[in-house]
Every structure is written in structure tokens, then in C-alpha cells.
Amino acid sequence: MLVLSDCPERLPGFARAGSWSEVTEGSLQPSDEALWRALGTGGPLWSGTGDDPGPSGFWTRALVVAEAPSSQFDTLREWLDGGLELPGPVACLALSGSFHGQRGRPWLSAPGNLHLCVVVPEPPIAARDVGLLSLLPALALVDAVRALSGGALRPGIKWVNDVLVEGRKIGGALTATKTQGDRVSALVLGIGLNVAQAPPVPPTAFVPSVGCLADSGTTATLAEATSCVLSAVGWRVGEAAAAGPATLVAPYRDASLVIGREVCVFEDPAREQGAGRRTACIRGTVRGIGADLSLLLEGTEKPVTSGRLAFAEDCLHFGL
């Protein structure tokens, strides 16, 4: 796996020792040069060799920058719209910078945490299945946290894509797709995982507490966490390609933290606390998750297909 970086000393262990060499943009292959122009920072450029985290032969490139001045997720989507061609699955890692979550909500960065964006071009997946691909990055995060902790931690998913450990949010994910005809032409994933630090996020009913792997006793390095998440993404993409994204639904249900819980689902985008009291779309106990990811609530015939979810006890605590 080729690794391009402006800060090779900042991620020890991610590329093989002694493999780094300083290069120029013009010496890169056209697709690598375009990728660096999209996400590079204009500083010195280094090229190294890293071990493919797996599955074998899946990842072709990794790009690591010290700081992302803007969202890599958004930038990659824009460049893909402009015709960016990639040699295969690419992982882009920013050690710090500007990031966001769902609906543009801010995602605070902190040193030692994972801020990752990946692109999988031409996955053999039908365009009709794009809705289920939103399950993939959250499941990959669950897989990775289990592996990094040696099975000691039991991460779960709060609908739709928040990953929690012991009630504290440690990760989240974004998904975007490009389609051409009846096929997916590109899958773009944004993944955040608090590895070393819990950022100072003001508590709300939606995110009452934030945690990190280190606080839970997992001493993984950022390089180890990056490799483990990339491996999990690779395996989940392979699973979705081989058997269809519908195979992701059962493990998603197994990892769900909302089934059997009383929840409040608010319109999204909704007014922020302090700008007026929120009006709940619906409240009830979740009896299941549909094949289309909708929430099935007790006493409610119509499935809930969108909105922002909070647990009922957190709504009570925060006065919503």
C-alpha cells in the first residue's frame, strides 16, 4: 500500500520503517497527483510503503496529513463529481482539522483521535441498495472496537450511526454514494473514533456523554486503530459486495442499543436547544428495526424513517 504524507514522523508504525522518501507532486502517477492536489496541504511530500490492513489486496493508497483545512469527506465528494479517478480503495487520514457529522453538525478533533475518510470506487453493488450502505461504517467501527479491546468492550450503535461504549459516544460515521446507471460508482465513508481523548463536547439529550478508548482501558495507538478500522471496513465492503448490503441488517440489529428502549425522535434538522423548545416527532418503545432501517415503535403503525433520536430518560434529564 502506497502512503503519501506531509508528516511521516507523526504516525509511527503506519508505514514500514525506512521506506519514506521525499518526492514531488510531478513524480507521482496522475491519479496520485490528483489525490494529493485535492487533499494535500502544499508542504513537503513524502512517500512510503505500508502494509495493507486487509483483506489482502484491498487497500491501494493511504494519504495522511497533519491538518485538514476543510472536510475531507466534502472535498472528496466534490473531486469525484469533477471526475477524480482512483486506482482502487483509498484511505485519507487527518491528524487534526475541520470535520463535521450528520447534517453539518461539528465534530471536534483532538490529538490522537481518528479522523478518517475512505473512498471505494466501483464496488460491485447495485444502486437500489445504496440506502443500506449507511450501516457499513458504524458496523465496521463496532468490529474495530471489539478487536482493539480484545473483546473486553461491548460497543453498540445508537440509531442511526453513533457508536457508544458504556453509554458514552466514542465514534460516528457518514456515508455518501455516487451511482451510474444501476450500479454504485463510488462509496465515500467518513469515520470518527475517539482513541486517545474525549473531546470537550457540551452534553445534550442527543449526546449526553462522550468517551474514548483510552478511558475505557484500551491502549491502542492511532496507527493500530487506523489499521483495525480499515481492515473492518474492507471486510464489511467485501461482505456487502458478495452477498448484498441486506446482509448487514442482522448484525446491525444485534449491535443496536435502541431496541427495547423508550426513545424520542425529533425532526431533523431541528432547532438547537436554546433556540426554542424542540417538538418531538414521536415517542415510544422500539420493538424492532425494519429491513429499510426504519424504527418500529410499539403502538405506532407507521415506521419512523428519519429524525434524530434521543433516549427518553435523557430527554427528561435535559428538559426536552
pLDDT single digits (tens) 191-225? 999 999 999 999 999 999 999 999 999 999 999 99
Would you tell me the crossing angle of helices 30-39 and 72-81 to the nearest 10 degrees?
130
Confidence of residue 13 (pLDDT cuts 50, 70, 90): confident
Per-residue pLDDT, 271: 44
pTM of the complete model:
0.94
Boundaries of every domain in the chain: 2-255, 262-317
As a whole number, the mean pLDDT across the chain is: 93
CATH fold group of domain 2-255: BirA Bifunctional Protein; domain 2 (3.30.930)
Would you tell me the crossing angle of helices 135-148 and 222-243 to the nearest 10 degrees?
130
Per-residue pLDDT, 237: 97
Q: Do 297 and 282 meet the contact criterion of CB atoms below 8 Å apart?
A: yes
Residues paired with 308 in a beta bridge: 266
- Read off the pLDDT of residues 165-190 as tens digits, 9 standing for 90 and up: 999 999 999 999 999 999 999 999 99
Q: Residue 53 has which C-alpha cell?
A: 490492513
Q: Residue 251 has which C-alpha cell?
A: 448484525
Q: How many CA atoms lie within 13 A of 251 on its CB side?
A: 18
Measured distance CA(255)–CA(175) in Å, rounded: 18
Measured distance CA(134)–CA(160) in Å, rounded: 8
Q: What is the mean pLDDT of residues 8-27?
A: 91
Q: What is the mean pLDDT of residues 240-268?
A: 95
Using the structure block, give the residue that is written with the C-alpha cell 496522475: 30
Per-residue pLDDT, 269: 56
3-state secondary structure of 26: helix
- Read off the pLDDT of residues 85-106 as tens digits, 9 standing for 90 and up: 999 999 999 999 989 888 788 7
Per-residue pLDDT, 273: 45
Confidence of residue 281 (pLDDT cuts 50, 70, 90): confident
- Judge whether residue 317 has pLDDT over 70: yes
With b for 16 or more beta-carbon neighbours within 10 A and e for fewer, the 143-179 pattern comes to bbbbbbbeeebebbbbbbbbbbbeebbbbbbbbbbbe
Per-residue pLDDT, 41: 82
